Structure 1
Amino acid sequence: MKRTTLDQLNRAKSAKETTVLLTDLKSGEQELVYPQRPDVDHPLLDILKSAVRDDKSYVHVTESGETFIQVFNPPLRLIIVGAVHISQFLVPMAQSAGYEIILIDPRSAFGNKTRFPNCNISNEWPDEAMEDLKPDHRTAVVLLTHDPKLDDPALLASLHSDAFYIGALGSKRTHAKRLDRLKNLNSLERIEGPIGLDIGAKNPAEIAVSILASITKALRHGDRS
């Protein structure tokens, strides 16, 4: 690998930007592609985006030769607003699925290491915490406080980000009121509410399962028609 290519990879990693390294297995020539950039035009772009979505590196074979497609994705993150009972089940489930967890709750009586010993906790207000976290295209945001004072500022920050999933707890009626409060914002259709796949979940553990399932669906199939 050329030093310039390695430097580009390191810069992309620092910026949490997805890259794909293409290596011609016959000639050894390499090309670094940034498939998430809106201005990128590449003959393999659809294939590269699929590889990025699936976190899959593999050898692409055509009549003209073989190309190794190597995906470099930023780590998956899940930002949870609300240190509630559902969160206590969702945190370990999502960690097992490969997510770094950031739990936000200014109420330190709820968001603390006693209740959540194995994840990063922020006791800042959600809008302040989100400004530092800067959700990217590998970040899911889940809002579970059921309190507009906490959820709405987090929603505002999330809608201005590249987060691949935004979900908010609440019934259809609660979500309708939420949309009415936020009606001056763009892209409200990005918010999944009620949150989670409709599996008939009743208790906190089942709701956590439905949320993680919905996040997974958005991650793996979100850009498919």
Structure 2
Amino acid sequence: MRLDLLAALNAERAARRAAVVVTELATGAQRLATAATLASDPLGPEIAAALAARRSGKAGEGSVFLAVDVPPPRMLVIGAVHISQALAPMARLAGFDLTILDPRTAFATPERFPDVPVIAEWPEEALPAYGLDPFTALVALTHDPKIDEPAIAAALRAECFYVGALGSRRTHAKRVERLAAAGLSQQAIGRIHAPIGMDIGASSPAEIAVAVLAEVIRALRTGAAATAGAAA
């Protein structure tokens, strides 16, 4: 790979943006397809499909090889609660880089979350440095609008591939009203998974964690992350 191409690919990786190295098999010539170039690329639709599937392979009737490079998925959990304690090890086993955020220092402690990064700050303070992006899942579990909703709004604006929030349908209806009043569009608000998690009849914290993780994985594997990253 040419040094300039490698430098450009590393820049996309550092910015947590998806990219595809396109190699012409007959000549070995290579180019980098990114979000900025995808619309004008002659293989744009095929590259977008490869990104959505998160899978490398041949394209252009077999004349080129697409090497897909997608950022590793992250999960930011808002709330150092019992569900989070069950979710953290499960999500890490599933390949997610998980972080807990909760300004309540009595809950957000290393003792309760060993080997997991814990941010004991308010979302408004912590999220700019964390850097939400289309390859991040946001899971809001505190049940406290002052903590959950700034994070949810930021995640929707950042086009996180998954945004879920704990709470009943009545709780969520009030949340929708507040988010709309804060300027979020109905289309953006409609992306929130609430009540959170797949409907498996979960009741215990561990079962709810399983339901949440399953829903996040489904969103990731149906191409939401790659598609959002290509469009960003």
C-alpha contact (below 8 Å) 1:77/1:99 kept by paired residues: yes
Equivalent in the alignment of 2:169: 172
CA distance in 1 between counterparts of 2:37 and 2:84 reads 35
In 2, the alpha carbon distance for the partners of 1:193 and 1:82 equals 16
Q: 1:222, 1:60 → 2: CA distance? A: 18
Distance 2:205 2:88 in 1: 12
TM-score between the two structures when normalised by the length of structure 2: 0.89
User: What is the DSSP-based 3-state SS (H/G/I as helix, E as strand, rest coil) of the residue aligned with 2:63?
Assistant: strand
Matched, 1:209 2:210: yes
- Offset at residue 41 of structure 1 (A): 2.7
Matched with 2:222 is 221
Check whether the contact 1:131–1:157 (CA below 8 A) recurs between aligned residues. Answer: no
- Partner Cα separation in structure 2 for residue 50 and residue 108 of structure 1: 44
CA distance in structure 2 between the partners assigned to 1:161 and 1:56 by the alignment: 24
1: CA distance between counterparts of 2:218 and 2:42?
27
SS of 1:197's partner is coil
Task: Give the equivalent residue in structure 1 for 2:20.
Answer: 20
Given that 2:54 and 2:223 are in contact with CA atoms closer than 8 Å, whether structure 1 keeps it comes out as: no
Contact 2:155-2:163 within 8 A present in 1 as well: yes
Structure 1: gaps spanning 5 or more residues: none
Equivalence map 1:135-174=2 (5 Å): 135-174=132-171
- As a proportion of its length, which structure holds more helix? 2
* 1:85 matched to 2:71: no
Q: How many Å separate the matches in 2 of 1:39 and 1:27?
A: 22
Moved over 4 A (4+): none
Describe the shift of the 1:222–1:192 C-alpha distance in structure 2 as closer, same or farther (beyond 3 A).
farther
Q: How does 1:1-225 map to 2 (within 5 A)?
A: 1-34=1-34, 36-37=35-36, 40-60=39-59, 62=61, 65-184=62-181, 185-186=184-185, 187-221=188-222, 223=224
Distance 2:116 2:50 in 1: 29
SS in 2 for 1:59: strand
Deviation string 1:15-55 (CA, Å, 9 cap, x unpaired) is: 11110001122211111101x44862333323322322332
With over 3 angstroms needed to count, the CA separation of the structure-2 counterparts of 1:37 and 1:214, relative to structure 1, is farther
Partner of 1:182, secondary structure, is helix
What residue in structure 1 maps to residue 230 of structure 2?
none
SS at match of 2:132: coil
| 8 Å Cα contact 1:53-1:219 kept in structure 2 | no
Asked if the contact 1:58/1:70 (under 8 Å) is kept, the reply is: yes
TM-superposed deviation, 1:61: 6.6
Distance in structure 1 (CA, Å) of the matches to 2:85 and 2:158: 26
Query: What percentage of residue pairs aligned between the two structures are identical?
Result: 45
Whole-angstrom CA distance in 2 between matches of 1:222 and 1:188? 20
Q: In structure 2, what residue type is equivalent to 1:69? A: L
- What RMSD in Å do the two structures reach over aligned CA positions? 1.8
What's the CA shift string for 1:44-83, capped at 9, x where partnerless? 3233223223322223372xx4322111111211000001
Q: Which whole-Å CA distance do the structure 2 matches of 1:131 and 1:32 have between them? A: 28
Q: Would the aligned equivalents of 1:58 and 1:69 in 2 still touch at CA under 8 Å?
A: yes
Q: Counterpart of 2:190 in 1: which secondary structure?
A: helix
**Which amino acid in the other structure matches residue 43 of structure 2?**
L
SS of residue paired to 1:154:
helix
Matched residue of 2:88: which SS? helix
